[in-house]
Amino acid sequence: DVKVTQSSRYLVKRTGEKVFLECVQDMDHENMFWYRQDPGLGLRLIYFSYDVKMKEKGDIPEGYSVSREKKERFSLILESASTNQTSMYLCASSLSGELFFGEGSRLTVL
């Protein structure tokens, strides 16, 4: 079975902390994505990557960075977490149009 695994389902962090959200896929997909999902705003693209070490900004990259050192792993980094980054974060991977999502990571920043 196809699998996209996000490292943490729930995280609580303090303002100013550095936060790492990890995503691993076992399908050898080239494309990987990070979205955040907020009530009333739907899913918004933060960053995506179409190959190892490649990254592209999405619609809302400010305050975030990403790392793709290996094909299977795409990490989202919040250098200095802020309360407005409290959200549900969803990772996805795709190949030939098929999309696979992780279970999501709900981050609360206090």
Partner 1 sequence: KNEVEQSPQNLTAQEGEFITINCSYSVGISALHWLQQHPGGGIVSLFMLSSGKKKHGRLIATINIQEKHSSLHITASHPRDSAVYICAGVNYGGSQGNLIFGKGTKLSVKP
> Rule CB under 8 A: which residues touch partner 1?
9, 31, 33, 40-45, 48, 50, 56, 58, 88, 90, 92, 94, 97-104, 106
Q: Which residues pair with 25 in a beta bridge?
A: 4
CA atoms within 13 A on the CB side of 18: 5
Tell me whether residue 35 or residue 78 sits nearer to partner 1 (CB atom): 35
Tell me whether residue 26 or residue 56 sits nearer to partner 1 (CB atom): 56
The DSSP code sequence of 30-82 is SEEEEEEEETTTEEEEEEEESSTT--EE-S--TT-EEEEEETTEEEEEESS--
Tell me whether residue 18 or residue 49 sits nearer to partner 1 (CB atom): 49
Name the token pair of 91: 């990772």
Min CB(50)–partner 1 separation in Å: 7
Min CB(14)–partner 1 separation in Å: 23
